[in-house]
Amino acid sequence: MVLELYLRNQLEKKDILLMTHIVMGYPSFDDNLRIIEDMVDAGVGLMELQIPFSEPTADGPVILRANQEALKGGATVKECFKFIEKVAGNFDIPFLIMSYYNIPLNYGVKDFVTAMSNCNIRGAIIPDLPPREEGQAYLSAMYDHHLAPILIFSPATSLEGMKDISSFARGFIYCVARSGVTGEDTSFSEELAAFLARCRQGTHLPISLGFGVKEKADIDFLKGKADIAVIGSQTIRVMEQKGIASVGDFIRSLGFTKK
């Protein structure tokens, strides 16, 4: 897969990559573009673009509020695809859609995947993707368009479960550090290290770690244990507290440099 090859090439040059997350339409699409420019310039390796949804069940209060504000501002799936097409064609990092299954289901799964392909998206993260039987139409469409369905390991996933999930995944695996939602505190501990070691056993793909990554110390802990650190809620907090111009400086403080 194109995405996996990109990641492996980048990992030959770097100890770990950074994936960030924005909610499209929050604070505005123009602000999103500026934030993406600053993040890419600061060394972000890949990025999730979230289509706002009224009930983002995996997201904590920070990203939940961003979803609600984007919807209040009138952000639509159609607008999001127009924005994705613009940024995916203008920046040299992979972009992924992050969404909830209700959105592609209502849009039409095949049409949704075709729209992703037309926008030069590399893959998608859908945390509430239903069990294998219901998800087959989505997975088949993703494979047909050479897009990466990013699937999820949690601490509750058994090793055999990981191997099964990995057989359907492409690009990389998203490992969630703990149960619950995004943005809460995570203990960067021996227990987390053991979970990541089990994830390594469960897949041949690169692995990312998200849910609670907030600072350089967290990323330093993940080096050698994960391939990608994921920061979502914290960048939104920084933007809300210190302004849009502060986001690039925050990313640089994490120790990443542009390739």
Token pair in block for residue 144? 């047909």
215 catalytic residue (yes or no): no
Name the catalytic one among 4, 38, 59, 227. Answer: 59
Q: Is residue 229 a contact partner of residue 218, using CB atoms and an 8 Å limit?
A: yes
Q: Could you give the CA distance from residue 189 to residue 200 in angstroms, rounded to a whole number?
A: 17
Cα distance between residue 111 and residue 114, in whole Å:
5
DSSP state for residue 120 in the 8-state scheme? T
Tokens of 223: 């080096």
Residue 126 corresponds to which amino acid?
I
8 Å CB contact between 242 and 213: no
| 249 has catalytic annotation | no
Contact in structure between 19 and 45 (CB atoms under 8 Å): yes
Q: CA 170, CA 150: separation in Å to the nearest integer?
A: 6
d(CA 190, CA 196) in angstroms, rounded, equals: 10
Q: Which residue has the tokens 């069940």?
A: 57
Alpha carbon distance 259, 111 (integer Å): 34
The catalytically annotated residue of 48, 218, 220, 240 is 48
Question: Exposure string (b/e) for 15-39, b if CB count within 10 Å is 16 or more?
Answer: ebbbbbbbbbbbbebeebbebbebb
Which residues are catalytically annotated? 48, 59
